[in-house]
């Protein structure tokens, strides 16, 4: 069921914050990531949020298509201008903010699949993507994209039916998308304030992670590494113990949990 997003209500609720103080709402865009980057290059202040009801070229990690019917879910991107040392924590903040928002609205606690998928019962609730421009060792801007399944019924989409979930699918209830968007951005603003104050989010983020202690496979390009996910370091990299007893640091890749 398609619902209207009350943009004025969202802006009113988020006006005191850094994150979400200005909302750019579009019926259709190729990508909220690309539009936020364009605004960044035009001098937009950090914290602006670009929301689109429809993305004709929306993408997730590894350039995967993000399926999101018009007026059902949320697809938005936020502009940050952090210090380079703060970058790893922004991904963590996004995953934690989605977890907190879902808990606020449903009373249930999702888990994080490394590095930043938010899942419930092994099914994906939210995908997160960050793209950064760095010059001369300094961050010019970072754009964080979040796709959040709010009122999606995955049963209507065979390609994602077995792997996706939503607020609606988990509770049987329809949710006001403005409430979901505000909840995520309010928590994101709080976490970003912590980051700017020099706090690490690693321990809190790792505490929500379903990946740790599990036998996993990590795929990166043509390489596949298997082992037990032991821990994460303060930069968010995964520490994997291989079958031969050695340990390796995994910076990026696609994780598959082994049964």
Torsions phi, psi for 236 (to 5 deg):
90, 5
What's the pLDDT band for 251 if we cut at 50, 70, 90?
Answer: confident
Per-residue pLDDT for 200 more than 80?
A: yes
Reported residue count of the chain is 259
Per-residue pLDDT for 61 more than 80?
A: no
- Identify the pLDDT of residue 222: 76
Q: Mean pLDDT over residues 42-70, rounded?
A: 80
- Which residue did the predictor score with more confidence, 41 or 219? 41
CB of 70 closer than 8 Å to CB of 53 = yes
Distance (Å, whole) CA 242 – CA 248: 7
Beta strands 247-250 and 49-55 are unpaired
Per-residue pLDDT for 68 more than 80?
A: no
Q: Mean pLDDT over residues 194-214, rounded?
A: 95
Instruction: For residue 85, give every residue at least 6 positions away whose Cβ sits within 8 Å of its Cβ, in sequence order, or none.
Output: none
Distance (Å, whole) CA 26 – CA 28: 5
- Which residue did the predictor score with more confidence, 253 or 91? 91
- Identify the pLDDT of residue 259: 42
- Identify the pLDDT of residue 257: 64
Q: E strands of 15-137, at which residues?
A: 23-29, 49-55, 74-80, 111-113, 117-120, 123-135
- Identify the pLDDT of residue 70: 86
User: What's the gap between Cα 244 and its chain centre?
Assistant: 34
Q: Mean pLDDT over residues 161-184, rounded?
A: 96
Q: 0.85 exceeded by the pTM? A: yes
Per-residue pLDDT for 59 more than 60?
A: no
Q: Is 147 helix (H, G, I), strand (E, B) or coil?
A: strand
Architecture of domain 211-257: Roll (2.30)
* Lowest model confidence (mean pLDDT) among 56-70, 113-127, 180-194: 56-70
- Identify the pLDDT of residue 180: 97
Most confident of 69-73, 180-184, 239-243: 180-184
Instruction: Domain ranges for the chain, please list them.
Output: 7-206, 211-257
Q: Which two tokens stand for residue 195?
A: 């980051």
Per-residue pLDDT for 58 more than 70?
A: no
Q: Is 134 helix (H, G, I), strand (E, B) or coil?
A: strand
What's the pLDDT band for 62 if we cut at 50, 70, 90?
Answer: very low
Torsions phi, psi for 58 (to 5 deg):
-65, 145
- Identify the pLDDT of residue 99: 98
> Which CATH homologous superfamily contains domain 7-206?
Bira Bifunctional Protein; Domain 2 (3.30.930.10)
Q: Which two tokens stand for residue 78?
A: 């936020």
Per-residue pLDDT for 88 more than 80?
A: yes
* Lowest model confidence (mean pLDDT) among 54-63, 68-77, 130-139: 54-63
Distance (Å, whole) CA 190 – CA 77: 17
CB of 254 closer than 8 Å to CB of 218 = yes
Q: Is 58 helix (H, G, I), strand (E, B) or coil?
A: coil
What's the pLDDT band for 57 if we cut at 50, 70, 90?
Answer: confident
- Identify the pLDDT of residue 147: 95
Mean pLDDT for all residues in the chain: 91
Q: Which two tokens stand for residue 228?
A: 């037990």
Q: Mean pLDDT over residues 222-237, rounded?
A: 89
What secondary structure, in 3-state letters, does 212-239 show? CCCEEEEEECCEEEEEEEEEECCCCCEE
Distance (Å, whole) CA 80 – CA 45: 8
Distance (Å, whole) CA 97 – CA 202: 14
């Amino acid at each position: 069921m398609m619902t209207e997003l009350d943009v004025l209500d969202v802006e009113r609720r988020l006006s005191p914050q850094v994150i979400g103080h200005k909302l750019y709402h579009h019926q259709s865009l190729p990508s909220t990531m690309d539009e936020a980057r364009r605004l960044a290059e035009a001098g937009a202040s950090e914290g602006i949020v670009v929301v689109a009801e429809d993305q004709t070229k929306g993408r997730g990690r590894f350039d995967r298509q993000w399926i999101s019917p018009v007026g059902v879910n949320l697809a938005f991107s936020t502009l940050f201008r952090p210090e380079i040392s703060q970058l790893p924590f922004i991904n963590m903040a996004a995953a934690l903010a989605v977890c907190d928002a879902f808990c606020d609205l449903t009373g249930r606690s999702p888990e994080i699949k490394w590095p930043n998928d938010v899942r419930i019962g092994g099914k994906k609730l939210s995908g997160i993507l960050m793209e950064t421009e760095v010059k001369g060792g300094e961050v010019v801007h970072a754009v964080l994209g979040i796709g959040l399944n709010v009122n999606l019924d995955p049963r209507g989409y065979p390609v994602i039916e077995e792997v996706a979930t939503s607020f609606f699918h988990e509770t049987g209830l329809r949710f006001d998308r403005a409430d979901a968007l505000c909840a995520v951005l309010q928590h994101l603003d709080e976490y970003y304030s912590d980051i700017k104050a020099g706090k690490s989010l690693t321990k809190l983020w790792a505490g929500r992670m379903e990946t740790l202690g599990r036998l996993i496979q990590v795929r990166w390009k043509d390489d596949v590494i298997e082992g037990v996910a032991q821990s994460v370091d303060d930069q968010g990299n995964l520490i994997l113990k291989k079958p031969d007893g050695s340990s390796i640091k995994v910076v990026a890749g696609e994780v598959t949990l082994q049964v």
